[in-house]
A and B are shown apart, each in its own frame.
Chain A
Amino acid sequence: QKEVEQNSGPLSVPEGAIASLNCTYSDRGSQSFFWYRQYSGKSPELIMFIYSNGDKEDGRFTAQLNKASQYVSLLIRDSQPSDSATYLCAVKQYFGNEKLTFGTGTRLTIIP
């Protein structure tokens, strides 16, 4: 079983719509959850992190965490063509173990 699973996509969303990206993880001891955006040929860029159950909003981005279901998601409202990228979910497992485990990423395309 993969530690962090994401649908690889591609996920196509019309401009202006809500893009919904999902991630599941296997380790119940996971403490912190991160979303990175990676443009083609570029390095990953941290856009959101969440550690408490519920929603966390930052501008057009909302991260949602449900530890009971071992599920984390990222919503992008009012999607723009510049949001087209691969989105990586990452999980930090224990206090003291600083390793981030990444999913394979979901490729998102916003259609003008």
Chain B
Amino acid sequence: ETGVTQTPRHLVMGMTNKKSLKCEQHLGHNAMYWYKQSAKKPLELMFVYSLEERVENNSVPSRFSPECPNSSHLFLHLHTLQPEDSALYLCASSQTGTANYGYTFGSGTRLTVV
């Protein structure tokens, strides 16, 4: 495996379900991110983990719960979601301390809440 891998690619869940999104990066980066992408909106930063410590949480509802057990893995635990949470959820990684370093994105999870 290379780059950033996300599973599952597609997820349909009911409003009462609990599910988790998984992200793994194979690039040796030290920071990982969760983004939400909805139609006609900019990418919304949800969570930032740097060196396995959560450094940013952009007022995300508590029904989204991130977990970063090590620098290569990132999870997003989902429970009691709302239909408006349907979106593409993107994981990204980067190497901090280098201003000219962009993010590498995973292929995303297309989430539909019914």
Contact = CB atoms under 8 A, between A and B. Distances in A.
Contact of B102 (A42, A43, A46, A101): A46
Interface in B98-113: 99-100, 102-108, 110
Contacts of B99: 31-32, 51, 92, 95
Contacts of B45: 99-101
A103 B42 contact: yes
Contacts, number: 50
A49 B100 contact: yes
B70 to A, nearest CB: 19
B42 A104 contact: yes
Is the interface on chain B under 10, 10 to 19, 20 to 34, or 35 or more residues?
Answer: 20 to 34
B53 interface: no
A74 interface: no
B31 A43 contact: no
Of B41, B48, B102, B105, which is in contact with the most chain A CB atoms at under 10 Å from its CB?
Answer: B102
Contacts of A4: 42
Contact of B107 (A36, A42, A99, A105): A42
A41 B102 CA distance: 21
Nearest to B41: A104
A51 to B, nearest CB: 5
A98 B105 contact: no
A99 to B, nearest CB: 6
18 contacts: A8-B40, A32-B100, A36-B102, A41-B110, A43-B106, A43-B108, A44-B105, A46-B103, A51-B99, A51-B100, A88-B43, A90-B102, A92-B99, A98-B31, A98-B96, A100-B103, A101-B45, A102-B43
Interface of B: 31, 40-43, 45, 48, 50, 56, 90, 94, 96, 99-100, 102-108, 110
In the complex, the 10 A-B pairs of residues with the closest C-beta atoms, listed nearest first? A43-B105, A102-B43, A46-B102, A34-B102, A104-B42, A98-B96, A43-B108, A102-B42, A32-B99, A31-B99
